[in-house]
Amino acid sequence: MPPTAGRLSQDNHSRDSAGLTYVYPVISRRAGGISIGINLNPNNACNWRCIYCQVPDLKRGVAPAIDLIKLEQELRAFLYELLFGNFMLESVPLEARVIKDIALSGNGEPTSAREFEQIIEIIGRTKADFPLPEKLKLVLITNGSLINRVAVQKGLRRMAELNGEVWFKLDSVTQAGHLHINNTQASLQRMRDNLRTAASLCPIWLQTCVFKLNGAHPNKAETDAYICFVRTLLLEGTRIQGVLLYTLARPALQPEATILSKADPDWIEAFADKIRALGIQVKTTA
C-alpha cells in the first residue's frame, strides 16, 4: 500500500491524506512526531456541534457502520509502509520521524461507532504484530458523552491494557457555556458521571479548548466554575492525569467562525497556573 501523501507538515491534518477510509497520518505538535489517526466518522457526523469545530461539512449524527475488515487491512498496511516502506523518508520531515501514538480522532465522535469495543481489539492485535515503540500510546479523543454505554466502557478497559489514554473534552462546566460552546443538551451531571466512569477505567486527561468570543476571553464566572469543578473531582479521588489546555490552531468551519479568535498566550498561562495550583499537571499549547 503506497500512501499517496505528499510531504506532510503540521498543517496537514487532512483525514484523506493517505487515500484511505479510516487511517490517516498526521504530524502532531501535541505528540511531537507522527500520529497514526483512525477516523471512525468518514461521514463527518458528530452528536455535538462545537462552535470551533474544524470538521468540514459537519453534520449531526453518529458514525456509520464500520467495515472492520477494511479498517484492520488499512491499519496493517499503513503500519507496514510506515515501518518498512518509504513513507517516512518521502513524506515526513526529518525531525518528526518517530511514531508517537495511535489516535482515535476523526471527523466526529469516535465512541458513537457501535463497533467501538471490537475496534479496540483490532488495534490491540495489530499493534502486537509490529515492532512498534514499547511506549506507543493509544489515545481516544472524545467528547465523553457516550461513556455510559457498556460497549464503550469495555473498550476503555481494554485500552488501559494497551497503554491507552482518554482525552476527555471539557470546555465549559456551566450549563450555559456547555450549551453555547458544544451545542449539546447533555446535563452537567451526565458529563461528571461519564468523566468519573472513564477515569475509573483508563488513564484520563481533560482537554479544554479556550478562545475569545467576540474578542473576550472566558469570564471569571466561567473560569471559577472550571477550577471549582476540577477541585471537586480531585477531592473526591477521581484520578486525572492532567489538563491539556489549548486554543484554536486552525479556523473553525462553523457559522460562528467569524466571532472566534485565539486566546492570548498570557491568558492561557495565567489560567494554566490557576489549574496547576490545584496540584494537577497542565500542558498548554498556545
Build a one-symbol-per-residue string for 31-70: x at contacts with ligand SF4 by CB under 6 A, - elsewhere.
---------------x-xxx--x-x---------------
Question: Which residues share a beta bridge with 5?
Answer: none
Length of the chain: 286
- Shortest reach from residue 200's CB to ligand SF4, in Å: 22
- Shortest reach from residue 58's CB to ligand SF4, in Å: 6
- Shortest reach from residue 193's CB to ligand SF4, in Å: 18
Q: For residues 60 and 145, give the distance between their C-alpha atoms in angstroms, rounded to a whole number.
A: 14
Residues 6 or more apart from 85 whose CB is under 8 A from it? 2
Name which of residues 187 to 216 contact ligand SF4 (CB under 6 A). none
- Shortest reach from residue 130's CB to ligand SF4, in Å: 28
Residue 168, number of CB atoms within 10 A of its CB: 24
- Shortest reach from residue 48's CB to ligand SF4, in Å: 4
Decide whether 59 or 125 has the Cβ nearer to ligand SF4: 59
The CA-based angle 209-278-226, given to 5 degrees, is: 40
Residue 251, number of CB atoms within 10 A of its CB: 12
Number of residues that bind ligand SF4 (CB under 6 A): 9
The residue ranges of DSSP E strands in the chain, in sequence order, are 23-28, 33-38, 45-46, 59-60, 99-104, 137-142, 164-169, 204-209, 211-213, 242-246, 260-262, 282-285
Decide whether 35 or 143 has the Cβ nearer to ligand SF4: 143
Question: Which residues share a beta bridge with 35?
Answer: 26, 101
Decide whether 81 or 222 has the Cβ nearer to ligand SF4: 222
Q: For residues 107 and 54, give the distance between their C-alpha atoms in angstroms, rounded to a whole number.
A: 8
Residue 186, number of CB atoms within 10 A of its CB: 18
Build a one-symbol-per-residue string for 74-113: x at contacts with ligand SF4 by CB under 6 A, - elsewhere.
----------------------------------xx----
- Shortest reach from residue 129's CB to ligand SF4, in Å: 30
Build a one-symbol-per-residue string for 136-165: x at contacts with ligand SF4 by CB under 6 A, - elsewhere.
-------x----------------------
What counts of helices (H) and strands (E) characterise the chain? 8, 12
Q: Which residues bind ligand SF4 (CB under 6 A)?
A: 46, 48-50, 53, 55, 108-109, 143
